[in-house]
Amino acid sequence: MKLNTATAIAAASLYVFLFSVPGHAALLTWKLQDATFVDSLAGVTVTGTGTFGYDANTHNIANWDIVVRGDATSGVDFHFAPTTRDCGGSPCTATASRSAGPDPGTDLFSFVLNSVPDQSASLSLITQTLTDQGGGKPLLNGVGPELFCCGVNQVSADVTAGSIVAVPEPVSMVWLVVGLLMLAPLRRLTQRS
């Protein structure tokens, strides 16, 4: 069987289409790396770890799961997640939102645990504008504390280090496999002609 020019063009177009479509997944998972927050007045240093999903087209935040832990003297240990139900013995609600950052070209991601009377906490992640292209972005300072929490020890901490990086998606790997599988029959056809 001979591979004619029209078939080759159609196959190449389909291949290009598959690799140019970002899948259904504009929702990327972003991971905190080496995030450190310092309250120099209180002498408290805390660290943040975890991930959150973000769609740069719709500004939808999903599946956030971030833990802020301090040393033994700070007493800070907060879990920012949509499933959080308890804040130091008080019921709390967890929210996440995105808005334009304090400077042009920046995003502000706010994660809040809100309880009554004294265990509320907020975590702000300010980054360069996130896109669906992924990559990595440094954490930036804003006009106020990036971590604020109440309770036994009140902490008002600024970010001093850290970045967020996009985690590779399984969907991208699926498209790669599909594309490679499509090449196998084309190669056989070209070898026969």
- Of the ranges 19-23, 70-74, 108-112, 149-153, the best mean pLDDT one: 108-112
Whether 51 and 102 share a structural domain: yes
CB 54 within 8 A of CB 28: yes
Residue 116: pLDDT band (50, 70, 90) is: low
Q: Which tens digit of pLDDT belongs to each residue from 1-55? A: 455 554 555 454 544 444 444 444 589 999 999 999 999 998 889 999 999 999 9
Whether 104 and 176 share a structural domain: no
Say yes or no to pLDDT of 109 above 60.
Answer: yes
The domain of 183 spans 5-21+172-192
Whether 41 and 67 share a structural domain: yes
Whether 44 and 75 share a structural domain: yes
The whole-number pLDDT of residue 190 equals 55
Whether 62 and 124 share a structural domain: yes
**At which residue do the structure tokens 């906490």 appear?**
121
Sequence letter at residue 32:
L
**Total domains, the chain:** 2
Whether 34 and 77 share a structural domain: yes
DSSP string over the chain: ----HHHHHHHHHHHHHHHHS-TT--EEEEEEEEEEEEETTTTEEEEEEEEEEEETTTTEEEEEEEEEEE-TTT--EEEE-TT--EETTEEEEEEEEEEE-SSTTEEEEEEEEEESSS--EEEEEEEEPP-TT--EEE-B--SS-SEEE-SSS-EEEEEEEEEEEEEPPHHHHHHHHHHHHHHHHHHHHHHH-
DSSP string over 52-90: EEEETTTTEEEEEEEEEEE-TTT--EEEE-TT--EETTE
The CATH number of whichever domain residue 75 belongs to comes to 2.40.370
Whether 88 and 142 share a structural domain: yes
Whether 132 and 76 share a structural domain: yes
Which of 20-29, 58-67, 108-117, 178-187 is predicted least confidently?
A: 178-187
Whether 138 and 178 share a structural domain: no
Q: Which tens digit of pLDDT belongs to each residue from 58-105? A: 999 999 999 999 887 777 888 899 988 877 677 888 999 999 999 999
State pTM to two decimals.
0.75
Residue 179: pLDDT band (50, 70, 90) is: low
Q: Which tens digit of pLDDT belongs to each residue from 121-143? A: 999 999 999 999 999 999 999 98
Whether 86 and 57 share a structural domain: yes
Whether 62 and 75 share a structural domain: yes
Whether 103 and 151 share a structural domain: yes
